[in-house]
């Protein structure tokens, strides 16, 4: 207290006055004391009562920063979903065939030979219902070892080949509708985005094979531009009916033959041979009738009919 | 047990449900806080209300109290804010002039007449009373900023640092205000310097 004016005698004298005033401090009335103590007891009870864990969590969640963060996350998540969905819509007509081309030959052959899709669209529907609805995505690594038959050529008359063509993972009603006609959409091929789940029941009562993840790798000789142009030209505008479209197997063979022809025209005999070999594996008759003659300069002479 | 504890410890104990701890705090600080408020606002009734309100705010804010904060700093910050609010509210009211008659009759005296003058008192008790009243008038005449600093420093013995925390200004500003307050008091009480020298 002597910091202010230690050498000021008048201030020191005045200080003595107010120090004497301190001795005459008044006592506050006791009138409000009971109310204060009652409030203090109530507050003590409130402070000691521990809220339950969910009450504490709820209180935390109700705080403005958490609410703001949640709003931000919802907005960002919505924007991401919208963007992805937009990409999916834009890629849908061309993605499936392109991805099919990216599949390894063995996988495609397995798909072609597989009877898991038999029973109309039911198998496809089951696959679509159990896999992500993104036709442009492929599993990057196999999750289930699939019991597969040997990649030997299947008999041409196999009815199991009827419904292995699937334009995209279908929703259940759509797949069901396709299953009733027994004719999937042309121009797109199965195996890209709709692997059939293991154990998924099909219309015929059998269960589909295990999921067939197709590792994404470029098929030898695959030309994205040519394939894309091809698929764009074939991009379906309307849903074809069973009457006005060829059998899916035929479509596949035609596509392979066209590709083999283009490869032969480019002088890429190695690629043409590979494709021709696949055609022969699929349908020896078709190979003999359509491929062997046209690609005589590249592919070997057709073998005798088995 | 509770009487030996520091204010901060008592507050923490109260947070854990010890009502007795708060009772000790109340008995320890009620009187000085009341007199601080009384000298600040100059009205006993208002001071009683503000005292009640200050401790109610302490009770309500007890849950959020942190041990690191000095209890008296927190308590006097509450009390000081209440006083400042009250003073500002009162400024908007119309006050009676000291020279205005106390009632409507022509013969009635003025407020100035009932406030003690500076006549020399005959005995020591009267001198002290006169000095104290004059001192109260001088304190009331200080500006709000100087008055709060002066009261906390001289009547509550607070360090400048703590006053700065309560008032919310730098410590040097507090010292400056204190210097001006003392100078003003010295001028106001210049006529009483002889009385002050003989006062006990």
The interface pTM score, or ipTM, of the predicted complex is 0.75
Please tell me chain B's helix, strand, coil percentages from 3-state DSSP, rounded to the nearest 5. Answer: 70, 0, 30
Asked whether A279 and A256 are in contact (CB, 8 A), the reply is: yes
Q: Which percentage of chain B shows pLDDT scores above 90?
A: 55
A302 within 8 A of A292, measured Cβ to Cβ: yes
**How confident is the model over A250-260, as a mean pLDDT?**
87
Identify whether the C-beta of residue B166 lies closer than 8 Å to the C-beta of residue B80: yes
| Rg of chain A on CA atoms, in Å | 39
Instruction: Tell me what pLDDT residue A76 has.
Output: 95
- Per-residue confidence (pLDDT) for residue B12, from 0 to 100: 92
B50, B57 Cβ separation under 8 angstroms: no
A60-to-A53, A65, A66, B66 alpha-carbon distances in Å: 11, 9, 7, 20
**pLDDT reading at A177 higher than 80:** no
Write the DSSP symbol of residue A207. B
Q: Distance (Å) from the C-alpha of residue B179 to the closest C-alpha of chain A?
A: 6
Please give the pLDDT value at position A210.
44
Buried b (16+ CB within 10 A) or exposed e, A196-220: bbbebebbeeebbbbbbbbeeeebe
**Per-residue pLDDT at B24 exceeds 80:** yes
Between B122 and A193, where is the model more confident? B122
Distance CA B137, CA A18 (A): 12
Given a cut of 70, whether residue A58 has pLDDT beyond it is: yes
**In this predicted structure, what is the pLDDT of residue A182?**
42
Greater confidence (A162 vs A72) lies with A72
B48, B139, B175 member nearest A28 (Cβ): B48
Task: Report the mean per-residue pLDDT for chain A.
Answer: 64
Specify the 3-state DSSP secondary structure of A1.
coil
> What average pLDDT score do residues B108-130 get?
56
Which one is predicted more confidently, A31 or A199?
A31
Lowest mean pLDDT among A77-91, A136-150, B166-180: A136-150
pLDDT higher than 50, residue A129: no
Which of A90-104, A168-182, B3-17 is predicted with the least confidence, judged by mean pLDDT?
Answer: A168-182
Confidence class for position B200, pLDDT limits 50, 70, 90:
low
Report yes or no: A210 and A130 within 8 Å, Cβ to Cβ: no
How many CB atoms lie under 10 A from the CB of residue B154?
22
Alpha-carbon gap, residue B184 to A296, rounded angstroms: 119
- Please report, for chain B, how many H helices and E strands are present, in that order: 10, 0
DSSP state of A115: -
Residues from chain A that touch B189, judged by Cβ atoms under 8 A, are: 14, 17
- Distant-in-sequence, close-in-space partners of A228: CB < 8 Å, separation ≥ 6: A94, A98
Range in A99-108, A128-137, A224-233, A256-265 with the lowest mean pLDDT: A128-137
CB-based contact (8 Å) between B38 and chain A?
A: yes
pLDDT tens digits for B31-48? 999 999 999 998 899 999
Confidence at residue A302, expressed as pLDDT on a 0 to 100 scale: 55
Residue A6 has pLDDT above 50, yes or no: no
Residues of B whose CB is below 8 A from A47: 14-17, 62-63
Q: Report which of A198, A197, A124 is spatially closest to residue A166, judged by C-alpha positions.
A: A124
Give the model confidence (pLDDT) of A189-201 as tens digits: 444 444 444 444 4
Segment A252-270 mean pLDDT: 86
Note whether A49 contacts B: Cβ–Cβ < 8 A: no
pLDDT, average across residues A113-136: 42
Inform me whether the pLDDT recorded for A215 exceeds 50.
no
Residue predicted with more confidence, B133 or B93 = B133
Which residue on chain A is closest to B128 by alpha carbon?
A17
Q: How far is CA B67 from CA A40, B54, B62, B72, B171, in A?
A: 19, 19, 11, 12, 23
Q: What is the DSSP letter of B101?
A: B
Q: Please tell me the number of Cα atoms within 13 Å of A60 on its side-chain side.
A: 7
Q: Count the Cβ atoms, other than its own, within 10 Å of residue B100.
A: 11
pTM: 0.47
Is B156 in the A-facing interface, judged by CB distances under 8 Å?
no
Interchain CB contact of A89 with B (< 8 Å): no
| Range B109-127 average pLDDT | 53
3-state secondary structure B14-58: HHCCCHHHHHHHHHHHHHHHHHHHHHHHCCHHHHHHHHHHHHHHH
Query: What's the gap in Å between the CA of A71 and the closest CA on chain B?
Result: 28
Q: How far is A140 from chain B (nearest CA, A)?
A: 54
Coil/strand/helix, residue A89: helix
Residue B91 — pLDDT band, cuts 50, 70, 90? confident
**Chain B residue numbers touching A40 (CB-CB < 8 A):** 14, 19, 22-23, 26, 59
Residue range A51-76: mean pLDDT, rounded:
87
Length of chain B: 200
How crowded is residue B87: how many other Cβ atoms within 10 Å of its Cβ? 16
Mean pLDDT of B74-86: 94
Predicted local distance difference test score (pLDDT) of residue A72: 94
Using a pLDDT cut of 70, give the percent of chain A over it.
43
Q: Quick one: average pLDDT of A116-134?
A: 41
Q: How far apart are CA B45 and CA A28, in angstroms?
A: 10
- Between CA A291 and CA A302 the distance in angstroms is 9
**Confidence bin at A273 (pLDDT 50/70/90):** confident
A23 touches chain B (CB under 8 A): no
Query: Across the interface, which of B17, B44, B51 has its CB nearest the CB of A44?
Result: B17
Mean pLDDT of B75-94: 86
* Rounded Cα–Cα distance for residues A165 and A199 (Å): 20
Angle formed by the axes of helices B171-188 and A9-22, to 10°?
100
Looking at residue B53, its pLDDT comes to 95
pLDDT tens track for B127-164: 777 788 888 888 989 999 999 999 999 999 999 999 99
> Mean pLDDT across chain B, nearest whole number?
83
- Which of B56, B184, B200 is best to mutate for the A interface (most A CBs within 10 A)? B56
């Amino acid at each position: 207290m002597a910091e202010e004016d230690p050498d000021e005698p008048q201030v020191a004298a005045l200080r003595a006055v107010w120090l004497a005033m301190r001795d005459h401090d008044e006592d506050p009335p006791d009138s409000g004391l009971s109310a204060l103590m009652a409030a203090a007891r109530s507050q003590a009870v409130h402070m000691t009562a521990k809220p339950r864990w969910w009450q504490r969590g709820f209180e935390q969640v109700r705080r403005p920063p958490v609410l703001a963060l949640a709003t931000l996350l919802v907005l960002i998540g919505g924007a991401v979903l919208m963007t992805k969905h937009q990409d999916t819509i834009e890629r849908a007509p061309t993605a499936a065939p392109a991805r099919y081309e990216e599949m390894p030959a063995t996988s495609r052959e397995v798909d072609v030979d597989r009877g898991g899709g038999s029973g109309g669209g039911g198998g496809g529907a089951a696959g679509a219902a159990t896999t992500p609805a993104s036709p442009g995505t492929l599993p990057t690594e196999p999750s289930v070892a699939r019991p597969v038959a040997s990649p030997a050529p299947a008999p041409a008359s196999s009815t199991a080949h009827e419904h292995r063509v699937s334009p995209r993972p279908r929703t259940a009603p759509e797949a069901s509708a396709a299953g009733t006609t027994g004719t999937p959409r042309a121009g797109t091929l199965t195996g890209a985005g709709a692997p059939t789940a293991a154990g998924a029941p099909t219309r015929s009562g059998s269960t589909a094979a295990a999921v067939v993840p197709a590792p994404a790798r470029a098929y030898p000789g695959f030309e994205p531009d040519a394939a894309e142009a091809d698929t764009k030209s074939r991009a379906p505008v309307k849903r074809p009916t069973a009457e006005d479209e060829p059998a899916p197997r035929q479509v596949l063979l035609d596509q392979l033959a066209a590709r083999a022809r283009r490869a032969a025209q480019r002088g890429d005999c190695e690629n043409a041979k590979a494709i021709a070999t696949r055609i022969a594996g699929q349908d020896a008759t078709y190979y003999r009738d359509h491929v062997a003659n046209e690609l005589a300069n590249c592919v070997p002479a057709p073998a005798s009919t088995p | 047990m509770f009487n030996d504890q520091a204010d901060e410890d008592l507050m923490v104990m109260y947070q854990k449900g010890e009502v007795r701890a708060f009772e000790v705090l109340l008995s320890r600080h009620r009187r000085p806080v009341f007199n601080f408020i009384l000298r600040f606002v100059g009205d006993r009734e208002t001071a009683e209300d503000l005292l009640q309100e200050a401790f109610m705010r302490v009770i309500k804010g007890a849950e959020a109290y942190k041990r690191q904060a000095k209890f008296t700093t927190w308590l006097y910050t509450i009390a000081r804010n209440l006083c400042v609010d009250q003073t500002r509210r009162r400024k908007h009211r119309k006050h009676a002039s000291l020279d205005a008659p106390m009632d409507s009759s022509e013969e009635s005296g003025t407020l100035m007449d009932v406030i003690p003058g500076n006549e020399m008192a005959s005995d020591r008790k009267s001198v002290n009373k006169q000095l104290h009243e004059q001192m109260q008038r001088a304190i009331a005449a200080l500006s709000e900023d100087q008055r709060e600093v002066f009261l906390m420093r001289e009547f509550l013995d607070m360090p400048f640092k703590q006053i700065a925390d309560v008032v919310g200004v730098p410590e040097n500003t507090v010292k400056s205000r204190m210097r001006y307050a003392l100078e003003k008091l010295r001028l106001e009480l210049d006529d009483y310097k002889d009385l002050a020298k003989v006062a006990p």
